[in-house]
Structure 1
Amino acid sequence: MDLVIKDARITGREGRVDIGLGGGKIVALEPNLKAPQEISAEGNLVSPSFYEIHIHLDAILTEGDPRPNRSGSLWEGIAIWSERVKRLTREDVRERVLKALPWFVAHGVTHIRTHVDTCDPSLTALKALLEIKREVAEWIEIQIVAFPQLGMFSWEGGDELVRRAVELGADVVGGIPHYEITREYGVQNVKFALELAHQTGLPVDIHCDETDDEQSRFLETMAAETLRLKLSGRVAASHTTAMHSYNNAYADKIIGNVRRAGLHVICNPPDNSVLQGRFDHYPIRRGLTRVKELLAAGVNVAAGHDSVMDPWYPMGKGDPLHTAFVLLHYGLMSGRDDRAHLFPMLSSRAAAIWNNRLVRGSEGLEGHGLAVGNPADLIVWPVPTEDDALRILPMRRYVLKRGRVVAETRPEIARVEGQEVRFLR
């Protein structure tokens, strides 16, 4: 063993235990372990690290440039980004991304999937992120999605730019069917993305039905094409917010077909809770897909932040726990059994998407978590339980990548009239 985490609590296990790490993996879970290096959890929670499974690093930290999003709407955000993207340079992208990546790591993120706009003939952001991916691999792993922000067939040459991005090294094929001018173009968008994935062996992650329009139904095309091309486990549908507007009979049908096809679903609570419902005049829709119904049907659902300080979302600090906190409220997931899904949606469920695993219910979530033989990508918390973490939103004490401490935060201590304040029972 290279390192031992002493006196740790693990969700689902009684008492405290030491966690022995060696060769980048967990090698022992038992009391009284010894190693050349030791850190103490001090009786607090140790959890698997987080996967930020949906973010847009190319746009990060551009909020207000060239102008603020005054309406706060999705469409104004896209219009602002279409102006900003014309001024992208390699240096600009590198400066912003390299400033923000440590924020994510400090909050326990060891894997990050970023969508990168390919509607730029020079593919400036993509090339910069390919460089960064290689440079930071020791402390955070990056997957890059070739994402045609303005469409594949409504934007001249959009399909070929996606193909070129894949040839240059993008890890995942993206799409955005609901943004195309016609439904026919949208269907073509989905079919092109999945066919390209079939040809190249890559996974797929499509911005799908990110709208309040109950007639936006490209998820059914994704399910059908996934089945036809036998891509189960390799295809993720991000957002799918139109599902909150479907009639219940159709929603039941599509959820069943999503499970049958082995699709993953990625919800994005911070952004969609403020971007959707913009056409409503009470009641205002919450802006989320049917998370609880999808989970109950055995569909794998993960959660991503989507944006940090960009034209679509002016807030954020790179903390997936913020995503879970918003989902707990807007997704009506405050019940005990529902809360139990929140940490896995940031970790094991997101990891299954990253690793292209077919998930049925809880099957397929193995290989990630606190078990001997699993990767030593871990978070040491300053609180004893997941509920405490969700309630208090504390900084992480330590973050480990492959058994090595890559981030450390000094304890946050508050004192009132000389008395130390603890926000625990």
Structure 2
Amino acid sequence: MKIVNARLRHRSELFTLSMDNGVFTAIEVQPAAVSAAATDIDADGNLACAPFVEPHIHLDAALTAGEPNWNQSGTLFEGIERWAERKPMLTPEDIRTRALKTIQLLMENGIQVIRTHVDTTDPSLTAMKTFCELRDELKDKVELQVVAFPQEGILSYPNGLRLMEESLEIGADVVGGIPHFEYTRELGEASMKHVIALAKKYDRLVDVHCDEIDDPNSRFLEVLAAEALFNDMGHRVTASHTTAMHSYDNAYCSKLFRLLKKSGISFVSCPTESIHLQGRFDTFPKRRGVTRVKELLAAGMNVCLAEDSVFDPWYSLGNGKLLRVLDAGLHICQMMGYQDISKALSLITDNSARALGISDRYGIEVGKPANLIILSGSDDYEVVRRQEDVRWSIRKGEVILQRQPASLVVRPGIHQ
């Protein structure tokens, strides 16, 4: 199969992309637009891009908002309380039904790789077992990474450390943590050391919910980064949220950034959810409560954006559209300059792939799996501005999604 008349990111020419046996076999510049054969896809001058990557979502909690109660305060901690009420209702069938609906929603919006955090603070580990099964069942359709996530703490929840280790033995791909939710500063710091030790023991990646709070004294990120640095694991470690960084003073951040850069860790920000959950204890001035995305990028660090939730106790909206999250993130983080927008798709593609450790098999390059999407617009700027649905999604050289663009029946200015 071939895709003709395609644009590629940061290139002005038209391209023909050839695929065979599920991989890219040729990427050739076209001298001009060409007619598509019956078996070809005509990109019609639109952007061919590596698939969207969702680097941080909670599929185990998706589609449970209001069950059994709504989060009335809109705070992170009440969301955890509401989820604790929902957990006893979990069954493999319930989890599968909601997860598959949400995965389909994500795939319909051009996402082909998903990292889902799955709660381990459940003695039965029902969700963990179910998601490891789903990951293996769906591997030909979508790539799932499963995070062992201790929602109520590794050391503050009864047998939390044992449940984490059991989750890794079941097959979780990534070690998670939540140090700011542990009962004390000392427990939070100790939990970060346990996370790194477990990752080393089981040869896994790391993704920690880190300092997801407005408290300027919540500084577990420095502990995580130092442990990653000392153990030479930065390329395998991700710090998610880090919203307390929005409340740090600049003097401390200047010192912190030096460590973060040395450590080589990645960052995930969930701007729509963070701006909803954080700043809840402020009157005015009211904090945005989103980490320093623009400043981290300017310092040369790897940052990506995620949706986090789809209709769950923490966030009662969500539609699986990373372009929506990207658009909101650019506004919230004051990244509306031309240079920011002209490379914005990296925040939901290449940067996310790097954080998930899949760069070696991700991207439009000869020899790599033929996974891509076609978007409305010729470049990042046009795609972000237009905010249209994904036109095509292709995985391993096979079409998994196709949309026809809408057209007006009655055109303005034309009199009948």
The TM-score bracket by the shorter chain reads over 0.9
2:292 is matched with which residue?
290
Contact kept? 2:240, 2:267, Cα under 8 Å: yes
| CA apart distance, 1:35 | 8.0
CA deviation profile, 1:285-328 (whole Å, cap 9, x unmatched): 11211111111111111111110110111111111111101101
1:375 is matched with which residue?
369
1:190 equivalent in alignment to 2:179: no
| CA apart distance, 1:385 | 2.7
SS in 2 for 1:164: helix
Question: 1:10-159 to 2 correspondence within 5 Å?
Answer: 10-30=8-28, 31=30, 37-159=39-161
CA deviation profile, 1:215-269 (whole Å, cap 9, x unmatched): 0000110111112222120110000010011110111111111110111111111
1:398 equivalent in alignment to 2:392: yes
| CA apart distance, 1:275 | 0.5
Counterpart amino acid of 1:402?
A: K
Q: How many residues align?
A: 409
Contact kept? 2:179, 2:192, Cα under 8 Å: yes
SS in 2 for 1:243: helix
| CA apart distance, 1:393 | 1.7
CA deviation profile, 1:57-112 (whole Å, cap 9, x unmatched): 00001111112222222121111001001110000000001111111111111100
Counterpart amino acid of 2:330?
A: L
Contact kept? 2:10, 2:379, Cα under 8 Å: no
Contact kept? 2:149, 2:176, Cα under 8 Å: yes
2:2 is matched with which residue?
4
In the alignment, the residues of structure 1 paired with residue 101 and residue 71 of structure 2 have an alpha-carbon distance, to the nearest angstrom, of 23
Flag the 1:420–1:128 CA change in 2: closer, same or farther, 3 A.
farther
1:302 equivalent in alignment to 2:304: yes
Counterpart amino acid of 1:14?
A: S
Structure 2's unaligned 5+ residue stretches are none
In the alignment, the residues of structure 2 paired with residue 412 and residue 169 of structure 1 have an alpha-carbon distance, to the nearest angstrom, of 44
1:419 is matched with which residue?
411
CA deviation profile, 1:130-167 (whole Å, cap 9, x unmatched): 12112211111100000000001111111110110000
In the alignment, the residues of structure 1 paired with residue 257 and residue 395 of structure 2 have an alpha-carbon distance, to the nearest angstrom, of 35
SS in 2 for 1:419: coil
Give TM-score scaled by structure 1 length. 0.93
SS in 2 for 1:59: coil
Larger deviation: 134-143 or 52-61? 134-143
In the alignment, the residues of structure 2 paired with residue 77 and residue 200 of structure 1 have an alpha-carbon distance, to the nearest angstrom, of 31
Structure 1 segments (4+ residues) deviating >4 Å: 32-36
Q: Which among 378, 403, 409 is matched to residue 403 of structure 2?
A: 409
In the alignment, the residues of structure 2 paired with residue 71 and residue 149 of structure 1 have an alpha-carbon distance, to the nearest angstrom, of 19
Q: Which among 326, 329, 334 is matched to residue 327 of structure 1?
A: 329
Identity %: 43
Contact kept? 1:4, 1:33, Cα under 8 Å: no
Counterpart amino acid of 1:9?
A: R
| CA apart distance, 1:209 | 0.3
Contact kept? 2:54, 2:111, Cα under 8 Å: yes
Structure 1's unaligned 5+ residue stretches are 357-364
1:360 is matched with which residue?
none
Counterpart amino acid of 1:337?
A: Q
Contact kept? 1:106, 1:408, Cα under 8 Å: no
Q: Which among 222, 237, 241 is matched to residue 235 of structure 1?
A: 237
Counterpart amino acid of 2:394?
A: L
